[in-house]
Amino acid sequence: MKTKTRILLAPALSVGPPTTSIEARRNLPLLEESLVPSPLSDRKMWSAVGSMDLRATEGMAGQAISISGLFAVVTSLVIATIAARFDRRNVLLTLTGLMTLSLVVIAEAESFAMLMIARAVLGIVVGGFWSLSTATVMRLVPHSSVPRALGLIYTGNAVATAFAAPIGSYFGGIVGWRGVFWALVPIALANFAWQWISLPSIRSETASPVSELFGLLRRRYVAFATLAVMLSFAGAFTAFTYFRPFLESVSHVSLPGLSLMLLALGMAGFVGTSLASRFAGEHMTSLLRWLPVGVAGATLLMLMGGRSLSVVALALFVWGALN
């Protein structure tokens, strides 16, 4: 499911051949980039943000997640055309700088409007990063190393999923939600410095207009593949958003048990991502065909056996590994 993004993005971005044969460690700054936005989509955290001192209802605080998604979608549609005019290295550094700025604004937000603006900026960062990451990796490493390099980047998201919820909840209870966001600022700054040192100049060869991107949808197989990717990601992120309230209200999981289950979910994702990156090169078609089916099956199993902790734990682990 995840590797399909590579197929759809490559023609539109006109990335050309790799400019260098540097090792996959060059992708570590991109991996770290994926570590920061992922913890910021926790529904429980944003409910707490709204209910404390920003005078926002829980529903309003939930819109802080939605606005990031909206701006991420818009950015993903235009970032390829915009970035083609600039050195890709500078574009990634700019996105990282915007991410750092958004974290500071969120930590110091005195009104709900400031919070929404900062979340919109974060959405731009997320949409821009994920739209450019695949094409950037294809320029940084030899073609034979692309699956492993992409697996390294997606590992960042898996690690964030594993540790964001328990760590965020723990430190949030100690230093408050503002302190949690301030704690992310040094990570973002370290990421900026890491990219500055390690990323080479990556200049695009041609600029593809947005119309050309949509023109790809005229090809039937591209249109169906795009729809499949959209449905897969929409289903996965929708399910993930409601895992915590489902476990609390249906499975009646205790707080320590919830932390363990979320940790197991993230660790399963880490294992699944590592294995997928090894088999993607030879079995990509099979993976793209059956992984979404497996995720759907795990979700149905969770719904059917939601009152059994053992069934839910098994389904959650399988879901994390396949997703």
- Cα–Cα distance for residue pair 241/44, rounded to 1 Å: 9
27: nearest Cα among 232, 191, 183, 144: 191
Rounded Cα–Cα distance for residues 136 and 134 (Å): 5
- In one-letter notation, the amino acid at residue 119 is R
CATH of the domain at 264: 1.20.1250.20
Q: Give pTM, 2 decimals.
A: 0.71
* pLDDT at site 5: 35
Phi-psi region of 129 (alpha: psi -120 to 50; beta: other; left: phi over 0): alpha
Strand, helix or coil for residue 87: strand
Mind listing the pLDDT tens digit for each residue in 26-84? 444 554 454 455 445 444 455 455 545 666 666 666 677 778 888 888 888 888 888 88
**Helix runs in the chain, H state only:** 4-13, 28-35, 43-52, 58-83, 88-107, 112-140, 146-198, 210-215, 220-249, 255-304, 309-322
Separation in Å, CA 3 to CA 29, 134, 149, 233, 290: 19, 9, 11, 12, 13
Domain that holds residue 190: 4-322
Q: What is the pLDDT of residue 266?
A: 77
- Predicted pLDDT at 1: 42
pLDDT of the residue at 8 = 33
pLDDT number for residue 7: 32
What pLDDT, on the 0 to 100 scale, is given for residue 203?
78
Q: Which residues of the chain have pLDDT under 70?
A: 1-62, 158, 161-162, 165-166, 169, 173, 204-211, 280-281
Q: Which residues contact 299 (CB under 8 A, 6 or more apart)?
A: 235, 239, 315, 319
- The total number of structural domains that make up the chain: 1
Among 80, 98, 94, 96, residue whose Cα is nearest residue 204: 80
